Amino acid sequence: MEKKNLRIEEQLNKRALLGNKRSLLLVNEKLIDFSSNDYLGFARSEDLKNRILNSYESLADKNGSTGSRLLTGNSALATEVESELAKLFGYDASLVFNSGYTANLGFFSCLPQRGDTILYDELSHACIKDGSRLSLAKSMPFKHNDLADLERKLKLSEGEVYIACEAVYSMDGDFAPLKALCELSEKYNAKLIVDEAHSTGVFGKNGAGLVAELDLTQQVYAVVYTFGKAMGIHGACIASNQTVIDYMINYSRPFIYTTAPSPFEFLSIQQAFQFLTNHPDLAIRLKENISTFNQAIKTQRPPRYLSTSAIQVVITEGNLKAKSTSKQLQEMGFDVRAILSPTVKEGEERLRICLHSFNSKNEVLGLAHALNSLLC
């Protein structure tokens, strides 16, 4: 057995020497949360939890889904929730997946065909890249938010062309130039797909996202919305026209060959969006905390990292520096995590700071002052 493990042990040892070997750690609940994606505090909301549980009491359904959606896993509740989501996001139809990862995997491995081209922003999430690799289409990245580079590659693309981006980038906190991307998509007859993982619930009316907020729904071919971040629960959906949804039901392997989400998960999605509709003040409070942080921090940051999203970035350069600064902040009571290479490029290691509606003004100011004392 030892010989069989030799290669993978060597790879793990190499990571340990480089200072980027990962391990699973429990969250220290005593620290002030500046690392989770729980932007609106839904994951910790007793009100939302009670609302979900009370609704579940009256749900005359199974505990589990019992199978895939194409066998025994479909339900009236599932189709009801998907219809509500499509209406909220402004599309003809939607399809719920177990996670944002499987939603992107399911789309990009399925829709683009042999002879087509997928162009994705180089900083797109791993699931977009993995889905593209599984596709029979040719795929290539374009430089981050670089419209000129994208246009050069559009001119060379073959077949039907798919452009993939994130509305808010998970490791950088900056925004995709969605209006300009829509214009390029129309100019070259390409299909734009936007991942709203970090903007669902935070932007747009009733949390419908940036595509809806910018009134671009008619120009964006498909959107991936996820529910495990600002919505505080789990799962994701793809919203598009009915033909795209029907095609994925028939051909998307990550959708077909997996057990469907449980009735409890569908109910949680439904209740979370109803809860958000009744609490528009949470997104307002989050935006106030973002403004407070940006005004208080004195650490030099490149313009691209001066974000109005909940994700704030401080570049530290080097895994050891990122980890040591993160440890110092945690000793001061702030849960801030280091993002190491190879998750980000070498030399762009960073502190990834997530702001929330539940962080008090004093907590936000305290973190900014701590960063100023450590890094200025």
Q: Band the pLDDT of 2: cuts 50, 70, 90.
A: low
The answer to whether 341 and 349 have CB atoms below 8 angstroms apart is yes
3 has a pLDDT exceeding 80: no
Residue spans in the chain of domains classed CATH 3.40.640.10: 49-277
User: CA-to-CA distance for 292 and 272, rounded, in angstroms?
Assistant: 27
Is the distance from CB of 355 to CB of 290 less than 8 angstroms?
A: yes
Rg (CA), the chain: 21
Q: What is the mean pLDDT of the chain?
A: 96
| pLDDT, tens digit (0-9, with 9 covering 90-100), for 263-272 | 999 999 999 9
> Is 151's pLDDT higher than 60?
yes
**Quick check: 193 and 162 in contact, CB under 8 A?**
yes
Q: According to the model, what pLDDT value does residue 20 have? A: 77
CATH architecture of 49-277: 3-Layer(aba) Sandwich (3.40)
Give the pLDDT of residue 58.
Answer: 81
* Short-list 346, 295, 275, CA closest to 46: 275
Residue that the structure tokens 């505090």 belong to: 41
Pairing verdict, β 161-166 and 32-33: unpaired
Q: Where are the beta strands (DSSP E) in the chain?
A: 32-33, 93-97, 117-121, 138-142, 161-166, 191-195, 222-226, 236-240, 311-315, 334-335, 337-339, 350-354
The pLDDT assigned to 18 comes to: 81
Give me the pLDDT at residue 90, please.
98
SS3 content of the chain, % helix, strand, coil (to 5): 45, 15, 40
CATH 3.40.50.720 fits 19-40+280-375, yes or no: no
Nearest by Cα to 138 from 124, 122, 159: 159
Q: Which residues contact 376 (CB under 8 A, 6 or more apart)?
A: 298, 299
Cβ neighbors of 101 (< 8 A, separation 6 or more) are 125, 126, 127
What integer pLDDT is reported at residue 302 of this predicted model? 81
In the predicted model, what is the mean pLDDT of residues 348-366? 98
105-120: per-residue pLDDT in tens? 999 999 999 999 999 9
Provide the pLDDT confidence category of residue 341 given band limits of 50, 70 and 90.
confident
Residue 145 backbone zone (phi > 0: left; psi -120 to 50: alpha; other: beta): left
Instruction: Among 33-42, 252-261, 334-343, name the one with the lowest average pLDDT.
Output: 334-343
Mean pLDDT for the stretch of residues 198-204: 98
Strands 350-354, 337-339: parallel, antiparallel or unpaired by DSSP? Answer: antiparallel
User: Rounded to whole angstroms, how far apart are CA atoms 245 and 235?
Assistant: 17
Looking at residue 303, its pLDDT comes to: 83
pLDDT over threshold 80, residue 46 = yes
Which regions of the chain carry the CATH code 3.90.1150.10? 19-40+280-375
What pLDDT score was predicted for residue 260? Answer: 98
**What pLDDT sits at residue 62?**
75
224-252: per-residue pLDDT in tens?
A: 999 999 999 999 999 999 999 999 999 99
Cβ contact 281:121 at 8 Å: no
- pLDDT for 71 equals 98
